[in-house]
Amino acid sequence: MELFSVRYLRLAYKTSVPLFAVRLAIYTFFFGLPFMILGALSALISNLSLTYKIFYTLLFTFIIILGFTLWCYLRAMVLLSKKKDAPTEDHKYLETLDSKFYGLSRELLNVETELFPDGHLESRTSTELVATSDKIYSLEHNITLPHMPESKNLIELDATEIEESKIKLKPVIIIQGNKRLFWKLNFLPCLPRGKSVKYSYAEKSPSNAFAMNLEELKKRNMDYEFCSIRMSYPTKHFKYKLVFPKNFDPDNYDYDVWLGEGRVQHMDEYRRIHEFWRVGRDENDKMFIELSIRYPIHGLIYALRWSPPKN
């Protein structure tokens, strides 16, 4: 089973491979030392030949070490199962505290994106929002394409005015260019405390927004391509999925968590969300990568990154 591996055990204890190996050796030694001494004394005082004394001492020591190692794996299974089914209390508490002072909370942020052969990306976002304070007038949305070449084509937005529970949701574009789209969603009248609304919208980047081969990636002076979302508001559940074109299977792909635009990795959060990472194929045999995170950290950037295939 994949669960019975040093990689999963290491993730459970949140440490590096060398540090984990040292820790396991130290724990094994001090845990087994009293039993080794007891086994050695028992063998020495018995009426056995020297060969049998050595044999039983080593056998007893091996059983102790094996038992402790098995305990480590079982402990890892418990830790991992807890991490899969329930987020840490600290992350839950942080989201609750943020939403209290920020005035709102996203119950769900679901972003489904698809990359196309001409290098453009289409995304569909659905959100469930709850006001935790009075008079929430609007919500800001921002998308940037920092490595997008100059183009006359603009980032497109598909968001229509809707009315839900006697509240109008009206999108207003503030900045629209080929590298940035900044818009807000106005609530008329404003959201009262405890009120929840659901809305969705779609965005489409211009062609050639993303490098589709290694040569183009090198021209843009990039090590990898990526799409990312900053947690601008406290969020309970974040889903982020990217579907690649058919027959476009990246050689390298991963998720990442950054502190800011400089892409400095947040290692603890990167480790925490490992269990929420998934790779697969859809019904059209297109490869996808996906994150489904409980209580992402407000302010961090969550990214999906990949390198175009070599052929």
Q: For residue 291, what are its two tokens?
A: 């994150």
Task: Indicate the average pLDDT of the chain.
Answer: 82
Range of lowest pLDDT (80-89, 225-234, 298-307): 80-89
Contacts of 134 by beta carbon, 8 Å cutoff, 6+ apart: 190, 192, 193
pLDDT in tens, 163-203: 877 889 999 999 999 889 999 999 998 888 888 899 999 99
pLDDT computed for residue 49 by the predictor: 66
Q: For residue 294, what are its two tokens?
A: 């409980």
pLDDT in tens, 49-88: 667 667 767 777 777 777 777 776 677 666 655 544 445 6
For residue 252, give Cα distances in angstroms to 96, 161, 184, 270: 36, 40, 35, 17
CA 273 – CA 126 distance, rounded (Å): 21
Mean pLDDT of 286-306: 94
Mean pLDDT of 279-299: 93
Residue 68: φ, ψ to 5°: -70, -40
Alpha carbon 147 to its chain's center: 23
pLDDT computed for residue 96 by the predictor: 84
Mean pLDDT of 263-292: 92
CA 212 – CA 119 distance, rounded (Å): 6
pLDDT computed for residue 55 by the predictor: 73
CA 43 – CA 61 distance, rounded (Å): 12
- Band of the pLDDT at 212, cuts 50, 70, 90? very high
pLDDT in tens, 234-260: 999 999 999 999 999 898 899 999 998
For residue 208, give Cα distances in angstroms to 178, 223, 306: 11, 17, 16
pTM over 0.85: no
Mean pLDDT of 304-310: 91
Tokens 């859809």, located at residue? 282
Given a cut of 70, is residue 299 above it in pLDDT? yes
Alpha carbon 172 to its chain's center: 31
pLDDT computed for residue 150 by the predictor: 80
Given a cut of 90, is residue 91 above it in pLDDT? no
pLDDT computed for residue 261 by the predictor: 87
